[in-house]
């Protein structure tokens, strides 16, 4: 008996059970439901799958390596430095071709600085003095050039002088750049080699066009229409595409972002994954006037006299800082996001049905009738306390008979 019961149970597992539906011949709600269905299906297919590629697993953790190489020569002639020739080994800082690199376009050399005593620069406001008491001995000013000796040079009751300091003398003079000294830096070229990898998909590629024409990479220049995949950029073109004039920017320097954007649909294959270049100026913004425009820093070259005394040349260099940033996203078909998106869409269909039910059961004229048809009350409503399952079974058998 138990075996037969078990067998019945097992067999009943193979019965297919399907929800019983009530057909409400209500055109309004019917059409409303069809509209909701269409909207949701349209959203799933159109937006999720076609526009957002919801069937793809995405990898945004791009691994990137950038190498840069500049070419170009410039000659400058200043009273302090004389006739100078600048090659990439001088104007690119650091010279080893990093993703963040600085190109000198303007400079101020303070040659032959020696450690000693001299007047603080008049640029340093805290170094102004009228008498020795204004200069605290042994004190250093945060924005100053050395340590105060306690003496005030050239200051008296009527005129403002500057404190004497111990430091690298003479101090850098005041300088208001008027024009870019390395004016032809505009024509320098930068070769950007970018190697990327999407670890999740074991996909790697380089931005250098795969071409059998060897001379192409020697002569091409990037142009978003004619040569969109040429990795060699003219500096003047970069700033122009960022919306600024190179010569204006070269005077005080600036910071330019070169974004390399990899948006790869790996379902389409290796050759369809191309970089796109975007250029932005980073050190200025229309809305934010408080950011000082320009970019400069100081570096030094140390020399030794034959007497053993150290002296140095201080260079204040202005220039354009290029920041090559790589951003990327790869998508590839995957069952998990597809299932999540389809599943969620279907669940939304259920929500649509629930909404239509509410309309049908509570807002329509014949609501009560629909409600009573939809919710079939069990006999427990009357005989709940009896718990007579034998009778239940008989009743339901009766029902089955009736239904035949």
Within 218-237, the residues that bind a copy of itself by CB under 8 A are none
Report the residue number, 156 or 213, with the smaller CB distance to a copy of itself. 213
Contacts with a copy of itself by CB under 8 A: the residue count is: 161
- CA 187-191-193 angle, 5° bins: 165
Report the residue number, 157 or 384, with the smaller CB distance to a copy of itself. 384
Q: E strand or H helix at 233, and its extent?
A: strand 232-234
Choose one: 126-134, 153-161, 243-251, 373-381; the region binding a copy of itself (CB under 8 A).
373-381
Query: Rounded to whole angstroms, how far apart are CA atoms 39 and 47?
Result: 11
Residues 118-177 that bind a copy of itself (CB under 8 A): 140-147, 166-168
Q: Does 202 bind a copy of itself (CB under 8 A)?
A: no
Sign of CA dihedral 14, 15, 16, 17: negative
Query: Rounded to whole angstroms, how far apart are CA atoms 116 and 309?
Result: 12
Report the residue number, 156 or 268, with the smaller CB distance to a copy of itself. 268
Binding residue for a copy of itself, selected from 1, 10, 83, 226, defined by CB under 8 A: 83
Cβ at position 88, least distance to a copy of itself in Å? 7
Q: E strand or H helix at 155, and its extent?
A: none
Q: Does 276 bind a copy of itself (CB under 8 A)?
A: no
CA nearest to 171, candidates 226, 126, 215, 111? 111
Q: Does 114 bind a copy of itself (CB under 8 A)?
A: no
DSSP collapsed to 3 states, 263-324: EEEHHHCHHHCCEEEEEEECCCCCCCCCCCCCCEEEEEEEEECCCCCEEEEEEEEEEEEEEE
Q: Does 39 bind a copy of itself (CB under 8 A)?
A: no
Q: Are 177 and 251 in contact (CB under 8 A)?
A: yes
Report the residue number, 43 or 130, with the smaller CB distance to a copy of itself. 43
DSSP collapsed to 3 states, 32-77: HHHHHHHHHHHHHHHHHHHHCCCCEEEECCCEEEEEEEEECCEEEE
Q: Does 1 bind a copy of itself (CB under 8 A)?
A: no
Report the residue number, 45 or 351, with the smaller CB distance to a copy of itself. 351
DSSP state of 140: B
Report the residue number, 156 or 350, with the smaller CB distance to a copy of itself. 350
Residues 347-366 that bind a copy of itself (CB under 8 A): 347-348, 350-351, 353, 356-357, 360, 365-366
Binding residue for a copy of itself, selected from 1, 2, 10, 13, defined by CB under 8 A: 13
Query: Rounded to whole angstroms, how far apart are CA atoms 303 and 131?
Result: 36
Report the residue number, 51 or 156, with the smaller CB distance to a copy of itself. 51
Q: Does 332 bind a copy of itself (CB under 8 A)?
A: no
CA dist 180 → 107, 116, 294, 295 (Å): 8, 32, 13, 13
The number of beta carbons lying within 10 Å of the beta carbon of residue 85 is 9
ω into residue 72 within 30 of 0, thus cis?
Answer: no
Binding residue for a copy of itself, selected from 1, 5, 9, 94, defined by CB under 8 A: 94
Binding residue for a copy of itself, selected from 38, 50, 100, 363, defined by CB under 8 A: 100
Report the residue number, 224 or 398, with the smaller CB distance to a copy of itself. 398
Cβ at position 40, least distance to a copy of itself in Å? 9
Q: Does 201 bind a copy of itself (CB under 8 A)?
A: no
Q: Does 183 bind a copy of itself (CB under 8 A)?
A: no
Q: Does 5 bind a copy of itself (CB under 8 A)?
A: no
């Amino acid at each position: 008996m138990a075996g037969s019961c078990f067998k019945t149970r097992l067999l009943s597992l193979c019965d297919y059970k399907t929800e019983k539906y009530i057909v409400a011949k209500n055109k309004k709600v019917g059409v409303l439901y069809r509209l909701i269905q269409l909207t949701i299906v349209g959203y799933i297919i159109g937006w999720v799958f076609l526009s957002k590629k919801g069937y793809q697993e995405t990898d945004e953790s791009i691994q990137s390596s950038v190498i840069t190489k500049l070419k170009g020569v410039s000659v400058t002639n200043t009273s302090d430095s004389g006739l100078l020739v600048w090659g990439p080994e001088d104007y690119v800082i650091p010279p080893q071709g990093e993703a963040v690199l600085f190109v000198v376009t303007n400079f101020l050399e303070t040659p032959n600085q020696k450690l000693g005593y001299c007047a603080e620069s008049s640029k340093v406001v805290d170094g102004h003095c009228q008498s020795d008491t204004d200069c605290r001995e042994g004190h250093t000013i945060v924005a100053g050039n050395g340590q105060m000796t306690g003496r005030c040079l050239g200051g008296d009751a009527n005129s403002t002088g500057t404190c004497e300091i111990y430091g690298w003398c003479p101090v850098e003079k005041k300088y208001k750049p008027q024009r870019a000294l390395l004016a032809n830096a505009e024509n320098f070229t930068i070769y950007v080699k970018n190697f990327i990898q999407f670890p999740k998909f074991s996909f790697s590629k380089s931005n250098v066009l795969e071409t059998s024409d060897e001379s192409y990479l020697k002569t091409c220049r990037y142009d978003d229409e004619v040569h969109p995949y040429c990795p060699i950029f003219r500096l003047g073109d970069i700033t122009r595409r960022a919306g600024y004039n190179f010569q204006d920017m070269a005077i005080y320097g600036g910071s330019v972002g070169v974004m390399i954007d990899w948006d790869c649909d790996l379902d389409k294959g290796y050759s369809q994954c191309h970089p796109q270049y975007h250029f932005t100026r980073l050190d200025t913004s229309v809305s934010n006037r408080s950011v000082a425009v320009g970019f400069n820093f100081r570096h030094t070259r140390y020399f030794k006299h034959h007497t053993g005394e150290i002296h140095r040349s201080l260079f204040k260099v202005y220039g354009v800082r290029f920041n090559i940033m790589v951003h990327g996203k790869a998508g590839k078909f995957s069952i998990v996001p597809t299932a999540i998106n389809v599943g969620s869409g279907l669940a939304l269909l259920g929500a649509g049905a629930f909404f239509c039910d509410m309309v049908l059961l509570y807002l329509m004229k014949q609501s009560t009738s629909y409600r009573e048809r939809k919710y079939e009350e069990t006999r427990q409503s009357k005989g709940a306390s009896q718990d007579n399952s034998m009778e239940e079974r008989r009743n339901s058998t009766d029902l089955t008979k009736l239904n035949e």
